[in-house]
Amino acid sequence: MAEVYRGTQGTLGRKVAVKVMLPKMAADRDMEKRFRREARTLGALQHENIIAVHDLVEKNRQVFMILEFVDGPDVAELIRGGQKLPLDVALIIATSVARALEHAHFRRIIHRDIKPSNVMVSRRGEVKLGDFGIAKEVGDRDLTATGFVVGTPSYLPPELLKGERAELRGDLYAVGVLLFELLSGQKPFKGDGPKELVAAILAGHREKLRTLAPDVPRAVEKIVDTCLAPAADRYQRAADLRKDLEAQVRETGVTNPAARLVAFLYSKQLARVEDLATVDVGELRAADPTLDLSTAQIEALSKAADASLDVPIEVTFPKRRRWWRPIFASLVLAIAAGAVTYAIAPVQTMALIHTTMNKLASH
């Protein structure tokens, strides 16, 4: 539907992501409406775990969406090839997605496309949910043909595959699929083709998470099972899911999620050495004691980062000449002098004024 480029916003000098519709899609009015609706949806959502939209620009009959630039990989890259994530990292990512959905759901927005490629992890340890291209407000009509299901089949809840209307709790089902995949390296439902996959989802045929990942705590498996349960037995609110996930993050002993993510990206060669300077040294060490970098190196980077923030910046503005100031000052002094003179000798002052006015009149 669209391509994303990295750009620089000249007026502010900041990096941005520029999303532009593909030429073959730009000619489709429904696709253009969906693109504009995505921008409006993102504009209404302001949350630390949601990619922000800066502007929507139209030029030469093309529409460009200017988005926050997230410097880091998407989650699909982290699990490519069936890789599993460490328990704490997976929980931090899932918790952040749940927070983003809690904010979106409060505003009655259904994302409808939760999947690894739509979740990004920045080199500063931030988790961002993006691509609201098929998001819709509860009660709004779809911009797709009747009977056509939008979304990625592996992450769609069974009720949606049955043709029922999309609901908020469908997003929570997708979070369960996401967390299952992060911890096991596999999707919960499998099929040789689309029909077989849909049949498995509708029937609920899948392996248990702990069968594929025995080290996962039972409490985490229970969270996944609740997400993947039939709609009536599933989490009904993103806030409830978020609270359960946060409790499990605390159980892992992580005190600074951002530091843990930065350390993890560095261990996978997905973050630079200088990125470590954005995190407190002690918290970085606590997040990953095995980090292959000396404390002295990290401290040097941190000091360099702090020093760059402490450099005073002098801004000199050119002085503009105020031509009216001397005239105004002279006028004020004249009035003040006249008032003082009148106070001391009112009769003489009035006589002087009349004499002066008469002289002026004679000229």
Active-site residues, by number, are 113
DSSP for 242-304 reads HHHHHHHHHHTT-S-HHHHHHHHHHHTT-S-GGGGGGS-HHHHHHH-TT-SS-HHHHHHHHHH
- Give the integer Cα–Cα distance in Å for 44 and 60: 26
Question: In the chain, which residue ranges form alpha helices assigned H by DSSP?
Answer: 23-26, 29-44, 75-78, 87-106, 158-161, 168-184, 194-203, 209-212, 218-227, 238-251, 257-267, 281-287, 295-310, 324-344, 346-362
State the CB neighbour count (10 A cutoff) for residue 85: 22
What are the start and end residues of each CATH 3.30.200.20 domain in the chain?
2-68
In 3-state terms, what secondary structure has residue 14?
Answer: strand
Residue ranges, comma separated, of all CATH 1.10.510.10 domains in the chain are 75-254
Looking at domain 2-68, its CATH class is: alpha beta
Chain mean position to CA 106:
16
Give me the tens of pLDDT residue by residue for the chain, a chain 363 residues long. Answer: 678 888 887 778 888 988 887 776 666 777 778 888 888 888 888 899 999 888 888 887 788 888 899 999 999 999 999 999 999 999 999 999 999 999 999 999 999 999 999 999 999 999 999 988 888 888 766 545 445 567 789 999 999 998 888 899 999 999 999 999 999 999 999 988 989 999 999 999 999 999 999 999 999 999 999 999 999 999 999 999 999 999 999 999 998 999 999 999 998 999 888 888 777 767 777 777 777 666 556 666 656 555 554 444 344 334 545 555 666 666 666 666 666 555 555 555 555 545 554 544 455
Q: What is the pTM of this model?
A: 0.78
Q: CATH assignment of 75-254? A: 1.10.510.10
